[in-house]
Amino acid sequence: MVEDPLERIEREEREKKNKGLRNITIGLACVAAALAAALGYIWFQKSSLVKDLNVEKQELTAQLENLQNDYVNLSSDYEMINSQLDSSREEVAQLIERVKKTDATNRAQIRKYEKELGTLRSIMRNYIVQIDSLNTLNHKLTADAAAARKEAAEARTANAELNKQVESLSGQVAAGSVIKARGISIVAHNASDKATDRSSRVVRLLTTLSLVENDLAPKGPVRVYIRVKDPEGILLTNSEQASFSYGGETLMASASREVDYEGKEVEMSIYLNDIPSYTKGVYTVEAYTSQAFLGKSELLLR
């Protein structure tokens, strides 16, 4: 059967039209698939980026918390640094709170916080350097102070020893400079100025002695005092009685005499006159200077 030309043309046009619609549908489907793939890729990328940003935020928070612990464990013996540490600890705590409240996708703000973290770390390193330097200096000063105290103690010990030596030498010099005497004796004289041992005939007593040679002794006038006691221990004195200081006390003297002493031996005599009477027994004489006891002697009167 022969197809009508008009019908054929209409059929071909319908087929052509249907083919065009299929091609458009296929094209649209491809475009839709491509768009879906693109949207899926973009969503995946965004999800991955958000995940990475959250990880970065968590890492930043962890680093800040570690830094916070480091600040807690850092301390010093210096009030000024401790005050600065307290301020820095507060800054770290506030920064942690700001990071936790900031969305991870706010990259500009997160980067700002990362810079602040770096600044706080640098500040901590400076604190550590300052504390180490101050501790080193403090240890050095402590060691220097200990050495100075040791040197001072050694110096005091040496000075005390030197003072002892000086005192000893001074004592030796002082002892060596004291005038001494020898040959002290006492004799009774009668009216004819002759020696006697008869108490009823005695009119005066004569004490003789020699000041011995001593180059260390001071030169110049020296007064010698005698104290004569009767058999009952009573000090004999007359109208010319004198007093002198010896050993921090004031003593009465029976008689005295001054001589010029130039370091050489000097013989001297001291008379005791104007004693009303003498009794039988032992009389004693003691000789002194203001600096020393020179010695004693005895006389027996019958």
Over range 185-200, report the average pLDDT.
Answer: 95
What pLDDT is recorded for position 13?
77
Tens-digit pLDDT profile for residues 49-105:
567 678 888 888 888 888 888 888 887 777 888 888 888 888 888 888 888 888 877
- Tell me the residue range of the domain where 46 lies: 1-177
Last residue of a domain, one of 146, 177, 208: 177
More confident residue, 151 or 206: 206
Instruction: For residues 242 and 115, state if they share a domain.
Output: no
Instruction: For residues 33 and 170, state if they share a domain.
Output: yes
Instruction: For residues 96 and 32, state if they share a domain.
Output: yes
pLDDT-based confidence at residue 169 (cuts at 50, 70, 90) = very low
Over range 180-187, report the average pLDDT.
Answer: 94
User: For position 204, which CATH number holds?
Assistant: 2.60.40.2560
Instruction: For residues 251 and 141, state if they share a domain.
Output: no
pLDDT-based confidence at residue 233 (cuts at 50, 70, 90) = very high
- Measuring CA to CA, which residue among 196, 193, 185 is closest to residue 278? 196
Residue located via tokens 């010319």: 240
pLDDT-based confidence at residue 172 (cuts at 50, 70, 90) = very low
Q: Contact, 296 vs 286, CB < 8 A?
A: yes
Over range 252-259, report the average pLDDT.
Answer: 94
Distance CA 229, CA 298 (A): 10
Residue 21 has pLDDT above 80, yes or no: no
Instruction: For residues 167 and 271, state if they share a domain.
Output: no
Last residue of a domain, one of 177, 199, 227: 177
Instruction: For residues 47 and 147, state if they share a domain.
Output: yes
Over range 138-156, report the average pLDDT.
Answer: 82
Instruction: For residues 200 and 56, state if they share a domain.
Output: no
Q: Tokens for 147, please give them.
A: 């050495």
- Containing 37, the helix (H) or strand (E) segment is helix 5-73
Instruction: For residues 123 and 160, state if they share a domain.
Output: yes
Instruction: For residues 58 and 147, state if they share a domain.
Output: yes
Instruction: For residues 159 and 206, state if they share a domain.
Output: no
What pLDDT is recorded for position 194?
95
More confident residue, 30 or 231: 231
Residue 41 has pLDDT above 60, yes or no: no
pLDDT-based confidence at residue 40 (cuts at 50, 70, 90) = low
**3 state SS of 227:** strand
Average pLDDT score over the chain: 84
Instruction: For residues 38 and 166, state if they share a domain.
Output: yes
Tens-digit pLDDT profile for residues 111-136:
888 888 889 888 888 888 888 888 78
Distance CA 28, CA 35 (A): 10
Domain tally, the chain: 2
* Lowest mean pLDDT segment, chosen from 84-93, 154-163, 178-187, 240-249: 154-163
Residue 173 has pLDDT above 90, yes or no: no
More confident residue, 57 or 187: 187
Tens-digit pLDDT profile for residues 263-279:
899 999 999 999 999 99
Instruction: For residues 141 and 272, state if they share a domain.
Output: no
Q: Which amino acid appears at position 159 of this protein? A: N
Residue 1 has pLDDT above 60, yes or no: no
Q: Tokens for 216, please give them.
A: 């260390």
More confident residue, 114 or 205: 205
